Amino acid sequence: MKKQVGCGVIGLGFIGSRVHVPSLKGIKAARLVAVADIDEKLVKRVAEPPIKGFLDYKKMLDDPEVEAVWVCLPNFLHAKVTLDALRAGKHVFCEMPLSNRLDDCAEIVALSEKVGKFVVPGATFRWTPNFLKAKEIMDSGQVGKPTMYYCREYIAPSVLAEQWPAGSWAWDRSKSGGTSFTLSVWAIDLMRWLVGSEMVRVYASISRVSQPKYGGITPENCQFHVTHANGVTGVFERSENSPRSMEGAELRILFDDNKGIYALDNNVVELHQEEYDKRVWKFFATGTRVWGHQQLDRHFVTSILEGKPPSVTAIDGMKAVEVATAMATSAQTGEAVRL
């Protein structure tokens, strides 16, 4: 059996150059063949021999050594580049969201099936250590059926301004769909996976707060309530106006046997019994493993080598966009959206 997959990374911003490039270099089954970006300085910084550098990603797609590509570009470019890569006969890892538009997602799903190439969305929360443990607990029969959950993410505007300074595509809602849309898809996918049921109703509110000291960027506060097909209800709360000291992620899931799971950030998970007993697990992942990036990269590469469909697919990416779109629509209209 073939031992390595030739890999190419398109887009050398933060997620491309500081996450997926080092991640792939740390996977024995992956061989980083090439990188591409329109910024020549970024290409030269990463493309040290034997890694090839391209200013035109389409020329990378013509390289027969590149078998799979990682699309690490702004939202509004995801679909076009993913479709180009599929037409060139490449497997594709596409950062989330797959697109701002559902029809683009449907086209990606259809073309992936037609050409027989895998498309994996960057749904890394499924591989984040404590969330993975939560899934293990739920599947093992240690808890009953889920009844409701609360999923919170807080981030400071100073952090967003470092990644997306004023004038960036992320603050142009025609290109990003809005920051809540851009950043909610990981949590949406996580809860679809943990609960094992699709979301069928969404009700949301979004407010924007201008930050003059960060160039006038407009971080969002977003809350949305969902109902799953199996009756589970959930609340998502995310803010991009948090002080640094309150940044973090939190997940609480309650079950019909009066037990609960509590996950904090990416490294702690607790199983709470009906009374005061609880079990605690702590994880100490480092580098690109912290939020599951290297684990998912490895899974993708292994799926290609073994010819087995990956456990997360373009359909999952499309479902996350469907819910995020409903969230944005509900916030705009003030009405619940049924899916």
Q: Check whether residue 93 and residue 239 sit in a common domain.
A: no
Count of domains observed in the chain = 2
Residue type, 338: R
| Residue 310: strand, helix, or coil | coil
CB 22 within 8 A of CB 11: no
What is the structure's pLDDT at 83?
Answer: 98
Range(s) of the domain holding residue 41: 5-122+293-312
Domain at 260, CATH number: 3.30.360.10
Do 272 and 172 share a domain, yes or no?
yes
| Segment 190-244, tens digit of pLDDT | 999 999 999 999 999 999 999 999 999 999 999 999 999 999 999 999 999 999 9
Task: Based on the fold, state whether residues 140 and 245 are members of the same structural domain.
Answer: yes
The closest alpha carbon to 118, from 293, 334, 270, 316, belongs to 316
**Same structural domain for residues 97 and 173?**
no
Chain CA centroid to CA 238, Å: 15
4 pLDDT above the threshold of 90: yes
| Residue 1 predicted with pLDDT over 80 | no
Q: Are residues 100 and 226 in the same domain?
A: no
The pLDDT, as a whole number, for residue 109 is 98
pLDDT tens, position by position, 96-154: 999 999 999 999 999 999 999 999 999 999 999 999 999 999 999 999 999 999 999 99
How many residues are listed for the chain in this entry? 339
- 70 and 167, same structural domain? no
